Structure 1
Amino acid sequence: MNESLLEVNHLTKYFPIKKGLFNRTVGQVKAVDGLNFTIFKGETLGLVGESGCGKSTTGRSLLQLLRPTTGEIKYEGRNMVGLPPEELRRLRKDMQMVFQDPYASLNPRMTVGELIAEPLDIHQAASGKERTRRIDELLEIVGLNSRYADRYGHEFSGGQRQRIGIARALALNPKLIVADEPVSALDVSIQSQIINLLQDLQDQFKLTYLFIAHDLSVVKHISSRIGVMYLGGIVELANKRELFAEPLHPYTQALLSAVPSPDPLAKKSRIVLPGDVPSPANPPPGCAFHTRCHACMAVCRTDKPELRDVGGRQVACHLYNQA
């Protein structure tokens, strides 16, 4: 697992704020602001954080569905940022996405077979009988009957629609799948089925996942490592066992304190964060978390902490910036 598949260096994604008669740019929403991380082959890297922290924007930027403002995204050593469209299209065969809403991600005018075959048609990967065989095979792989190929998306339940989305993502035999909150819109009973399916597929096809979610219990179950995001940046990145056993960053500590315990007799100290998440259009100076942090120091208000190694994990916090 030490061989890297995807390397992200100083990634930013800013959205312009436009106002006035002449639609002038008056500011920027810093959705992703200086990300650095690596995804290793065969692992599942979980990405967690509050709504609006930049998780989904990160996932879409990695696949170039949103073009990054600055930074590098190296896939197997090759920087994808700024590649000509034709070269990027060839690389995209190796990277696919499973979207959050299993209904909105499926074109209601297309049959299930047409939806699954769309990547095959775009990349001219199969035609005729081979195309039909591949559609049937993919449906069977995700636990659906091949006879469903002539039906439409609205005829299926949420869990079945997400299986169709997964089948489409597998069509071109990708190496990396970005799963953007793939179970958050599903019933709890169905969530476990989809999570187990993703794990089985990972073992079967040697897949690598970036798993984006806000449910820490789901992320703990499926991930190898976990990155915690706050206001466009990663504040802690660690092995899941270390992270849950001993969170270092004050924000991670607050997040984990909110996870319900299955033991009704267990006493847990809840850390309640004051105030609201600052606006990414006007982030605070220094550490982005200092306005809500119980351990805030003077340096936190002026200097932005870097993500650095602390005892085998990475943390962006001045509490651990010792010489």
Structure 2
Amino acid sequence: MSKPLIEVKDLKIHFPMKNNILFNKEKRFVKAVDGISFVIHENETLGLVGESGCGKSTTGKSLLRLIEPTAGEVIFEGKDITKISTREMRDVYRNMQLIFQDPYASLNPRKTVGKLIEEPLLINSDLSPKDRLDRVYELLDVVGLNAYHANRYPHEFSGGQRQRVGIARALALNPKLIIADEAVSALDVSIQSQILNLLRKLQQSFGLTYLFISHDLSVVKHISDRIAVMYLGEIVELGTKIGLYDKPLHPYTQALLSAAPSIKSTNRRERIVLEGDMPSPVSPPSGCKFHTRCFAKMPECELVRPQMRDMGDGHYVACHLYK
């Protein structure tokens, strides 16, 4: 296993709520991320999966400090970037980039594609105009577009082509870590596979490391080396994709996988239907946050928060079933 590129330790992101009740001075918080820890190694893809509202995208943005963490550490190449200044973060941004979910909203419609890709180079490099243009053409070629596309505007492209432009822009400064936030969820299924294959090819060519955020289990399985399953601001299970898909341990992971469609009848699992909705992150349940919907809950689950346990072979689970 290669050395860790980024380590996240007990990360918390709590958003304060406005108090609308007269004379009630108690502060309330939305606990979007509530104490998660994980490591991503060099040249690895870690998939982060879970239901909408579980805190996946908030986690990704906090690694870039687009959202400031409430507590915890984000150690990138040996340095805790939560404690450095905004000026120092500019150097970090060269090595950490984000691919946005929406290929339509993430590109400025008033600028040509060439200008959009050139912008990071203009701000962060001393390249001459000719060298910047050569780099733009090179990046367009790398993501499967042509040089003449540089003079076109975003509205002249399809969704898949726009996402390729977003990937080219993310690659402009030769980053080490790319956070892909639902990078293919807005695309047709046939286009999704093209973008996923492109991301894998780029990883092999440039030695990239990915945090791949998605709610689609089949997509995560296709591209990830390891997978972390998130529920209501916490990671409940983490393991290799083979270990996690072949032998899911946490009841929530089992329910997610049972709902995933499969072409092969031999791979289909008995459907597990979860009752109720995800609780509010403002007032999460005590003990295990999943106990209100869990089909295997015990009395202890309502009182004690389970700790992450090492089950061997790089498989970890936070559940009282595995003491």
**Normalising to structure 1: TM-score of the pair?**
0.96
CA distance in 2, matches of 1:316, 1:265: 29
Give aligned-pair identity as a percent. Answer: 62
Tell me, what secondary structure is at the counterpart of 2:94? helix
- CA-based RMSD: 1.6
Count of equivalent residues = 321
Q: C-alpha separation between the residues in 2 aligned to 1:171 and 1:24?
A: 48
Residues 25-83 of structure 1: CA deviation (Å, up to 9, x unaligned): 74111001101000000110000000000000000001111111100000011100021
Task: Say whether residues 1:303 and 2:298 are aligned partners.
Answer: no
3-state SS of 2:83 partner: coil
| Residue 222 of structure 1, CA deviation | 0.5
SS in 1 for 2:166: helix
Structure 1 residue 318, shift from structure 2 partner: 0.9
Change (3 A) 1:140 1:266: closer
- In 1, Cα distance between equivalents of 2:125 and 2:138: 18
Residues 166 and 304 from structure 1, CA distance in 2 versus in 1: closer, same or farther, beyond 3 angstroms? same
User: d(CA) in 2 for partners of 1:246 and 1:41?
Assistant: 26
Separation of aligned partners in 2, 1:160 and 1:32: 33
CA-CA distance at 1:298 after TM superposition = 1.1
1:74: which partner in 2? 75
How far does the alpha carbon of each residue in 1:119-156 deviate from its partner, in whole angstroms, 9 at most, with x for none?
11121342310010001110010000111111111110
CA pair 125-141 structure 1, distance change in 2 beyond 3 A: farther
What residue is the counterpart of 1:18 in the other structure? 18
CA contact (8 A) 1:309 1:315 kept: yes
Secondary structure of 1:212's match? strand
1:318: which partner in 2? 320
Match of 1:43 in 2: 44
CA distance in 1, matches of 2:233, 2:149: 41
Letter in 1 for 2:318: A
Instruction: Name the CA shift for 1:74/1:183 in 2 (closer, same or farther; >3 Å).
Output: same
Contact 2:100 2:180 in 1 (8 A): yes
Residue pair 2:261, 2:268 contacting (<8 A) in 1 also: no
Q: Give secondary structure in 2 for the equivalent of 1:247.
A: coil
**Residues of 1 paired with 2:134 and 2:26: CA distance?**
51
Which residue number corresponds to residue 107 of structure 1?
108
Q: Which secondary structure state, in structure 1, belongs to the residue aligned with residue 38 of structure 2? A: strand
- Displacement after TM superposition at 1:16 (Å): 1.1
Q: After the TM superposition, which residues 125-164 of structure 1 pair with which residues of structure 2 at under 5 Å, given as runs? A: 125-164=126-165
Alignment of 1:1-323 (within 5 A): 1-20=1-20, 26-264=27-265, 268-312=269-313, 313-321=315-323
**Aligned CA distance change for structure 1 residues 72 and 267 (closer, same or farther; 3 Å):** closer
Structure 1 residues 310, 158: closer, same or farther in 2, change over 3 A? same
Q: TM-score, normalised by structure 2?
A: 0.96
| Mean CA deviation greater in 115-124 or 150-159 | 115-124
- Quote the Cα distance in structure 2 between the aligned partners of 1:267 and 1:156: 38
Question: Distance between the aligned counterparts of 1:73 and 1:9, measured in 2?
Answer: 7
> Amino acid of the residue matched to residue 164 of structure 1?
V
SS in structure 1 at match of 2:149? helix
Q: Secondary structure at the match of 2:130?
A: helix
Return the letter of the residue paired with 1:314: Y
Q: What are structure 2's unaligned runs of at least 5 residues?
A: none
The secondary structure found in structure 2 opposite 1:81 is helix
- For 1:213 and 1:267, the matched residues in 2 are separated by 21
Partners of 2:116 and 2:266 in 1: CA distance: 49
TM-fit CA distance, 1:228: 0.2
Q: Is the 8 A contact 1:14 1:30 kept in 2?
A: yes
Q: Which runs of 5+ in 1 are unaligned?
A: none
Partner SS for 1:19:
coil
Q: Which runs of 4+ in 1 moved over 4 A?
A: 21-25, 264-267
**CA-CA distance at 1:169 after TM superposition:** 0.2
Structure 1: which amino acid aligns with 2:170? A
The answer on whether the counterparts of 1:18 and 1:24 sit within 8 Å (CA) in structure 2 is no
SS state at 2:47 partner: strand
* Counterpart Cα distance in 2 of 1:286 and 1:197: 42
